[in-house]
Amino acid sequence: MYAILGPRLGSVLTTFAPAAALILGTILLDEHISLIGIIGMLITILGVIAISLGKSERVLIPDHGHGSISRGVIFGILAAVCQGAGLVLAKKGLQSETEIQLTINPVHATFIRLFIGTGSLYILSFFQGKLREIYQPILNNRENGIKYAVYGTFFGPALGVTLALFSVSRIDASVAQTIFSLVPVGAIVLAFILHKERINSRSLFGVFIAILGVIILIWREKLNQLF
């Protein structure tokens, strides 16, 4: 999805993840979100969409030879569903501590997820005969990309996933996944600090709406009492 559509447009499709987490969380974890909570979730998603579609993104999508735009959209929706499902299943695993009489620390759970994910990708690449394609960019290290890949791995799959599991162990999976959807908000702030990119009024409005939605989602129980 990101290879085809880029991060801005791709982040719009990730907003399907909270819906997937909500549906699966209801089925597997017996989690229930009130109407006000769902409204907060939808407000956050609309805010993220406003941020990510600040320009005519379809025209700006470069063709890197990874596939058509429609293919990228399909991959994006599937990725969002898998994100939501993965978070719910991870929480289900953390809740199984009493059944297996073993304490599962989120750090160890992260290691399990990364180990299974890496192993699965290597097995798939082996049968596709593409192991050489995996190692070639590492050996070439074009534009010193390995350094940034290491940074990305630490802050994403390692630290990010660990913090996500700590979060989901304490709050509903759909609520956590909605908060995770604020990635474009962080991206705008970092782009402003690191690359001096201007924040236009539409993006600023999207940030405000997205954060407002999360506030409503977090305080949904107290809002229910008021209404």
- pTM for this one? 0.74
The predicted model gives 163-190 an average pLDDT of: 83
Q: pLDDT of 60-97, one tens digit each? A: 555 666 677 788 888 888 998 998 898 899 888 888 77
**pLDDT tens digits along 121-167:** 889 988 988 888 777 777 777 777 788 888 888 888 889 889 988 89
> pLDDT tier at 4 (50, 70, 90 boundaries)?
confident
Looking at residue 100, its pLDDT comes to 72
Using alpha carbons, select from 118, 215, 103, 117 the residue that is nearest to residue 169. 103
- Domain that residue 22 falls in: 2-226
Higher pLDDT, 115 or 55: 115
The pLDDT of residue 120 is 92
Residue 9: which of 58, 66, 63 has the closest Cα?
A: 58
Q: Which residues of 5-24 are buried (b: 16+ CB within 10 A; e: fewer)?
A: bbebbbbbbbbbbbbbbbeb
What value does the mean pLDDT take over residues 96-115? 80
Domains: count for the chain:
1
- pLDDT confidence of residue 123: 92
pLDDT of residue 200: 74
What is the average pLDDT value for the chain, to the nearest integer? 81
pLDDT at 188: 74
E strand or H helix at 181: none
Mean pLDDT over 210-221 rounds to 82
